[in-house]
A and B are shown apart, each in its own frame.
Chain A
Amino acid sequence: MTSLSEEGLSTNLVQWSEDWTASFQNDGFATMACPGWMLGVIEGNADGVEGWDIANVFPGGGGNWGGSYLTVPAQGDNVEEAQELAKWLTAPEQQIKAFEAKGTFPSQVDALTDPALTGSTNEFFNGAPTGQILADRAEAVPFIAHKGPKFADINTAFQQAIQRVDEGKESADEAWDSFLADVERLG
């Protein structure tokens, strides 16, 4: 088992770190995974840098990274009305309006074929048809993985394990074993 790091394919940067942000202005990246919300992050950090584009590819077709959720607490006074409001806010029509206003990518499948979305392009990314590309990738998502209550903790432990390999602190096998021990520790 070799790692991307050993093959020289990793940027060796921790996401969201000062170095990571600075790398946008220092030609530090070749490629980057790009969920819908990352477009704005790249555009902001790489202000004035030319050459960013977006490709219509993803390993295994499509995947989901992040996004927002609306939750209605069961002990609220107006649970039903709140559910109605949440439903309205996340309906395709409203999601398209939000997309037109702020570029937030819709989660409803029905919204993915809306011309306002599929016809949109992004000037910073070489005028790419970002709406159509992201809609294609969203339709290629085979299933939505279940996220248990400890999802975030396990995800963090896994990221740390990858980082240890990236930094040369552990081999890939060692990092896998210590990741398993970390998950065990979460109880």
Chain B
Amino acid sequence: MLDAKVSPYLFVSPFFVLFLVVGMFPLGYTAWVSVHQWGLLSGQGDFTGLENYRRVLEDRYFWNALRNTISIFLLSSIPQVLIALALAGLLDTQLRARTLWRMSVLLPFVVAPAAVALIFGNVFGDRYGLANEVITWIGLEPIRWHVDTLASHVAIASMVNWRWTGYNALILLAAMQAVPRDVYESAALDGAGRIRQFTSITVPMIRPTVIFVIITSTIGGLQIFAEPRLFDTQGLGGSDRQYQTLTMYLWELGWRVRDLGMASAVAWLLFLIIVVFALVSLLVSRRAGTLKGHHRRSAPLKGARR
């Protein structure tokens, strides 16, 4: 009796034990560090309450990093999810050599972020980069990818998108394949074209997966580090910190300013920001999904009842 009651909990316990050790403990310990004076070399100092948080919120580079993070996040996550949706829709059709196409969209994901950053660093070179060579060949002015704020954000976002779009497309594709084919058949009989079928059937029916992809890319997008960190050699996000993200700011405080108390405060602020953004993403995507799902599908039904 007892065995049947206890053993299920024992079976799931490894995850929770591990999560407690490598998830909850660091979270709690970071909170503990953040309310102390805590140097990288000097270690724990006096309890200072919310002093570290106050100093972070008063630092203009915190707000600068927050702006950069949100900008790069919007430039990466929005096109990423839209392109992934379209890509998954295309991969869901009767292509020849389907497995080859599906495998190849995942290829960028296999490449280490540091290698991606090095390759794209060459592509986006201000003077001798491939991107500017193409741009000047068309007859436009070369873009200062490492100098201008928006240009640097676009360059970094394109690295992130290159890496993650295919991955998200495959998750969406898996969901699309679970959509019953007879729904498409009857839609086709009703005269719905491919695009109409995609927006009115595919997207509403895989809504939970779309929301999952949006939430995970929100969480990941707000923690971008390797790509902007390796975009120049100093690692501070450019001469004016024009592409320093919040995680890079955290790294700077911890390992350059050597103030782990302040760095921990940033970690917690980032955690709270991500929670807020994830909730907003959830609400927005739920709303958008509901409008598409109900509105369009219920209209002809009402007509039929009449």
**7 new A-B pairs (CB below 8 Å) besides A17-B125, A169-B240?**
A18-B125, A19-B126, A22-B125, A156-B234, A160-B236, A167-B147, A187-B259
Rounded to whole angstroms, the CA-CA distance of A185 and B239 in the bound complex is 16
0/1 interface trace, chain B 234-268, chain A, CB 8 Å (1 if under): 10100110000000000000001101000000000
Tell me if B239 and A163 are in contact (CB < 8 A): yes
Determine if B128 and A19 form an interchain contact, defined as CB atoms under 8 angstroms apart. Answer: yes
Cβ-defined contact, B239 with A19, below 8 A: no
Classify the secondary structure of B's interface with A. loop
A153 with B257: CB separation less than 8 A = yes
Residue contact A187 to B239, C-beta cutoff 8 Å: no
Q: How many residues of A contact B (CB 8 A)?
A: 25
**Bound CA span A185–B147, Å:** 23
Q: Cβ of B239 and Cβ of A169 under 8 Å apart?
A: yes
Task: Find residues 24-44 in chain A having any chain B CB closer than 8 Å to their own CB.
Answer: 26, 28
Chain B residues within an 8 Å CB radius of A185 = 59, 61, 257
Which A residues lie at the B interface, using CB under 8 A?
Answer: 13-19, 22-23, 26, 28, 153, 156, 159-161, 163-164, 166-167, 169-170, 185-187
Residues of A within 8 A of B236 (CB): 156, 160
| B232 CB within 8 Å of chain A | yes
Contact of B232 among A14, A164, A170, A187 (CB under 8 A): A14
A16→B233 contact, CB < 8 A: yes
Tell me the complex Cα distance, A13–B27, Å: 41
Cα A17 to Cα B126 with chains together (Å): 10
| Chain A positions within 8 Å of B147 at CB level | 167, 169
Q: Please, which residues of chain A bring their CB within 8 A of the CB of B229? A: none
Pick from B122, B239, B240, B259: contact of A18, CB under 8 Å: B122
State the CA gap A61–B144 with chains docked (Å). 37
Which chain A residue shows the least CB distance to B241? A160
Evaluate contact between B239 and A164: CB separation under 8 angstroms: yes
Contacts of A16 on B, CB cut-off 8 Å?
Answer: 233
> Could you say which residues of chain B place their CB within 8 Å of the CB of A163?
239
Number of interface residues of B (CB under 8 A): 21
A22 touches B128 (CB 8 A): yes
Question: Contact: A160 with B125, CB < 8 Å?
Answer: no
CB–CB B257/A186 < 8 A: yes
B residues less than 8 Å from A14 (CB atoms): 146, 232-233
Assembly CA distance A163 to B236 (angstroms): 13
Complexed CA–CA distance, A120 and B125 (Å): 38
* Chain B contacts for A156, CB-based, 8 A: 234, 236, 256
Chain B neighbourhood of A170, CB < 8 A: 240
Contacts of A161 in B (CB 8 A): 239
Bound Cα distance A64, B259 (Å): 30
Which of B121, B127, B234, B257 contacts A160 (CB under 8 A)?
B234
Tell me the minimal C-beta distance from B258 to chain A in angstroms: 9
Whole-angstrom distance between the alpha carbons of A164 and B59 in the complex?
A: 20
* In the complex, chain B residues 40-80 whose Cβ is within 8 Å of any chain A Cβ: 59, 61
- The CA-CA distance from A14 to B144 in the complex, in Å, is 13
Bound state CA distance, A13 and B122, in angstroms? Answer: 14
Name A26's contact: one of B61, B128, B239, B259 (CB within 8 Å): B128
| Contact A167/B239 with A19-B128, A186-B257 known, Cβ cut-off 8 Å | yes
Chain B residues contacting A169 (CB-CB under 8 Å) are 147, 239-240
- Roughly how many angstroms separate A19 CA and B128 CA in the complex, as a whole number? 6
How many Å lie between the Cα of A14 and that of B239 in the bound state?
10
| CB proximity of A137 to chain B, nearest CB, Å | 26
Confirm or deny: B129 has a beta carbon within 8 angstroms of a beta carbon on chain A.
Answer: yes
Residue pairs across A and B with Cβ atoms less than 8 A apart, 7 shown, are: A14-B146, A19-B125, A153-B257, A160-B236, A161-B239, A185-B257, A187-B259
User: B88-123 interface mask toward A, CB cutoff 8 Å, 1 = contact, 0 = none?
Assistant: 000000000000000000000000000000000110
From residue A49, how far is it (CB to closest CB) to chain B in Å? 15
Considering residues A13, A15, A167, which has the most beta carbons from chain B within 10 angstroms of its beta carbon? A167
Measured between beta carbons, the chain B residues less than 8 angstroms from A23 are: 127-128
Which residues of chain A are within 8 angstroms of B125 by Cβ–Cβ distance? 17-19, 22
Contact with A along B113-155 (1 / 0, CB 8 A): 0000000011001111100000000000000101100000000
Contacts of A159 in B (CB 8 A): 234
Closest to A165 in B: B239
The interface residues of chain A lying within 8 Å CB-to-CB of B129 are 18-19
B127's closest neighbor in chain A, by CB?
A19
Compute how far the CA of A167 lies from the CA of B232 in the bound complex, rounded to whole angstroms.
Answer: 14
Contact, CB under 8 Å: B127 / A22: yes
**CA gap between A166 and B147 in the complex, in Å:** 10
